Structure 1
Amino acid sequence: MSILSILMFLIVGFIAGVVYYGYSSLQPVEAQDESIRFTVETGMNSKQIANRLEEEGLIRNQTSFTYYLKYKKEGQRFQAGDYEMQPGITIDEIIQKLNAGETVVNTIQFTIPEGYTLEQITDKLAGEQLINSDVFSELLLQPELFSSASIKNIPDDGNMKYILEGYLFPETYEMKEESNEQDIIERMLLELDKKLTSLPENWQEQLDVLGITFHEMMTIASLIEREVVVDEERKTVSGVIFNRIRDNGLLQIDATVQYALDEPKERLLYEDLEIESPYNTYIVEGLPPGPIASPSILSIEAALYPEETSYYFYVTKKDGTQEHLFAETYSEHLSNIEKSKQMVQN
């Protein structure tokens, strides 16, 4: 073999080795289950970013990555921010994410249980250090700051304890970390608007059928939410409420008295039933001036589509099931109360 042949063989071998090394160094690293979070700082160039990627174990070789960027004419549009990528991602996928600025959005998460009052919501969010309670409470007095369609139905009634009571929908929320008090209220109000779209298409016509306003429907839904635990009973209790309303009688719902009190009690006393308040349905006929809590979509639907029933009374069973005994007459109701007491004894 001539010297020229040997030289050509060595050159070809060297080129093949370089190509193979370049190719292999651009292959994804070994895949892992856990993602890696890293930061591309403002002002970093493509070489610095490549070095960061190698340090984090997302690429095999920063030099090969840099040359690949030059070959692809990439690297000029990379955006700063916090990123989260999983080892095993391809080089082109990394480039795409950096170009698109697919940064990690730091979020906050909180859950508002069904049946919470505005005071409970405020205390919970403040306890989780997500809001300033004074700022939050002040914003709740200014419904004009919010875009929700639902709150446009709230009447101008000075008897209401809180204007937006019942309208902040109970749900688990995830929001941007920088969300302020107004953002949080707006998000919860809009969630109610969103949930209403899941109701039957004719639900607004149903208000006319029942002869109630949207605000009255939300009020009834809140009563159901605070009175009922078992889902199957929501529409039955709704039927009882409508029966009492149609007879122009007193609703006599304990939950409204609890709402009227400065501090809820584990057990109401007879003297509590005489408290002077527009929310005390033991002395004021008809519905209270507004909701007493944030109702679930199931309670809202129950308020819209009450069960046709002849019941006028109900009492909670004392057997731990949280179900109710229903009655058509007051004498039957008294009998059910005794049955409930016996359940405790048994």
Structure 2
Amino acid sequence: MATDKKDIIRQKMLESQKEARVVRKIVLIVSIILVLSIFIIGGGGYLYIKSALEPIDQNSKVQKKVDIPIGSSVTGIGETLEHNGIIKNAKVFKYYVKLKNEGGFMAGEYELSPSMDIPEIVSRLKTGKVLAKAAVIMTIPEGKQLKEIAAIMAKATKQKEADVLNQLNDESFVKGLMAKYPNLLTNEVLNSQVRHPLEGYLYPATYSFYKKNPTVEEIVTVMLEKTQDILANYQEEREAKKLSIHQLLTMASLIEEEATEKVDRRTISSVFYNRIKKGMPLQTDPTVLYAQGKHKQKVYYKDLEVNSPYNTYKHKGLPPGPIANAGKISIEAALDPEKTDYYYFLATADGKIIFTKTLDEHNKEKAKHISNKK
């Protein structure tokens, strides 16, 4: 009996080993199939994308007139190019643009050919190599406030400055833009404390328009599209810092207004964040001037008493909204401040900014470099 039991056990062990060998073979075969599938699919995907980036016909002599309307999105541009037989796949165009962080495409009528690859087409759309000359060219510098931008727009379009500004502030007009750009323009811009809903949202750049009398809406649409394209490059950093777009543009505008060409904006940014973290008011002069609606060389103690939610001497944290537009350098500084233990800074007459850690140090530097201020 004992021998029979041993034989049975031995037999079962042999069967188990046999089954295990079979299972291992099956697993090995499945693994090989999976690996091969991944290579085949991956290789096929790579070849497909590579092909889609290449010209439709490298030897084509055809030149097609393609109109890129004002306010076109990347998706819309890709679909237009595919529809006109200039590119193979609109989605590949879109993903290429996003991957390469391209943007700033200019509206107009272009002469394009199926012999062009996507990088060449992107380059042409960015540089604005169009058939017709621009009827209106408008340059918006960095650090400009909405009233100043309205004046530039009015001059470029031969409209009254007051009419342009009124339209930019019109709630129904702004709500229409919010519907077009829900991720960019949120309810924060309609906060009752915000002076101008579009303040800080019209990106500083040179804009070309190919009709003689573009409307305010057409101009603003292009500018908002530019802002959206720029900010899309920083979405991960913004979300990691837990900033809304409105907060980011507000912080960037403070940095833009305080900075000079000689200063590192990231250091200014560090002072603002350090003060917020410690519960200190930002106490930045440009917000006082914005609250007063004035441009002045000096800010006096009496100015600090202005009763406004924008007065960062009276109110802690960020003001209700941006106080001007900001360029990329200031936006990047707002997202990536330098690591410092500075809480104060002041600008000297020659444009240099002195950073200090304590109020005592700040007052000493102030006595050296600034007179009759505050």
Could you tell me the TM-score, scaled by structure 2's length?
0.59
Residue in structure 2 matched with residue 295 of structure 1 by the alignment:
326
Counterparts of 2:279 and 2:224, CA distance in 1: 32
Residue in structure 2 matched with residue 150 of structure 1 by the alignment:
184
| Residue 128 of structure 1, CA deviation | 3.9
More helix by percentage:
2
Specify the SS of the correspondent of 1:314: strand
User: Pick from 207, 212, 216: which aligns with 1:173?
Assistant: 207
Q: 1:204 to 1:231 in 2, by over 3 A?
A: farther
The answer to whether the aligner puts 1:263 opposite 2:294 as a matched pair is yes
State the AA in 2 paired with 1:140.
L
Residue in structure 2 matched with residue 125 of structure 1 by the alignment:
153
Residue in structure 2 matched with residue 246 of structure 1 by the alignment:
277
- 1:69-88 equivalence runs, <5 A: none
Counterparts of 2:151 and 2:338, CA distance in 1: 35
Q: 1:121 to 1:332 in 2, by over 3 A?
A: same
State the AA in 1 paired with 2:198.
L
Counterparts of 1:192 and 1:130, CA distance in 2: 25
| Residue 106 of structure 1, CA deviation | 4.5
Specify the SS of the correspondent of 2:224: helix
Counterparts of 1:223 and 1:155, CA distance in 2: 17
State the AA in 1 paired with 2:264.
E
Counterparts of 1:154 and 1:113, CA distance in 2: 25
Could you list the runs of 5+ residues in structure 2 that have no partner in the other structure? 1-129
User: Pick from 217, 226, 246: which aligns with 1:191?
Assistant: 226
Counterparts of 1:232 and 1:306, CA distance in 2: 13
Q: 1:255 to 1:106 in 2, by over 3 A?
A: closer
| Residue 263 of structure 1, CA deviation | 2.5
Residue in structure 1 matched with residue 194 of structure 2 by the alignment:
160
Counterparts of 1:240 and 1:130, CA distance in 2: 42
Conserved 8 A contact 1:207-1:213: no
The answer to whether the aligner puts 1:217 opposite 2:217 as a matched pair is no
**What does the per-residue CA deviation read over 1:236-277, in whole Å, with 9 as the maximum and x for residues that have no partner?**
110100111111111110000010113222212211110100
Q: 1:108 to 1:155 in 2, by over 3 A?
A: closer
**What does the per-residue CA deviation read over 1:279-315, in whole Å, with 9 as the maximum and x for residues that have no partner?**
0111111111000000111111111111111000001
Counterparts of 2:154 and 2:281, CA distance in 1: 37
Q: 1:105 to 1:128 in 2, by over 3 A?
A: closer
Could you tell me the TM-score, scaled by structure 1's length?
0.64
**What does the per-residue CA deviation read over 1:66-93, in whole Å, with 9 as the maximum and x for residues that have no partner?**
xxxxxxxxxxxxxxxxxxxxxxxxxxxx
Aligned length: 237
Residue in structure 1 matched with residue 7 of structure 2 by the alignment:
none
The answer to whether the aligner puts 1:235 opposite 2:266 as a matched pair is yes
Residue in structure 1 matched with residue 236 of structure 2 by the alignment:
202
State the AA in 1 paired with 2:354.
L
| Residue 112 of structure 1, CA deviation | 0.7
Counterparts of 2:354 and 2:330, CA distance in 1: 19
Could you list the runs of 5+ residues in structure 1 that have no partner in the other structure? 1-101
Question: In terms of Rg, which structure is larger?
Answer: 1
Residue in structure 1 matched with residue 107 of structure 2 by the alignment:
none
Residue in structure 2 matched with residue 329 of structure 1 by the alignment:
358
Counterparts of 1:116 and 1:254, CA distance in 2: 16
User: Pick from 123, 128, 140: which aligns with 2:168?
Assistant: 140
Conserved 8 A contact 1:153-1:215: no
- 1:23-42 equivalence runs, <5 A: none
Specify the SS of the correspondent of 1:140: helix
Q: State percent identity of aligned pairs.
A: 34
Q: 1:288 to 1:341 in 2, by over 3 A?
A: closer
| Residue 231 of structure 1, CA deviation | 6.4
| Residue 140 of structure 1, CA deviation | 1.7
Residue in structure 2 matched with residue 116 of structure 1 by the alignment:
144
The answer to whether the aligner puts 1:275 opposite 2:306 as a matched pair is yes
RMSD: 2.3
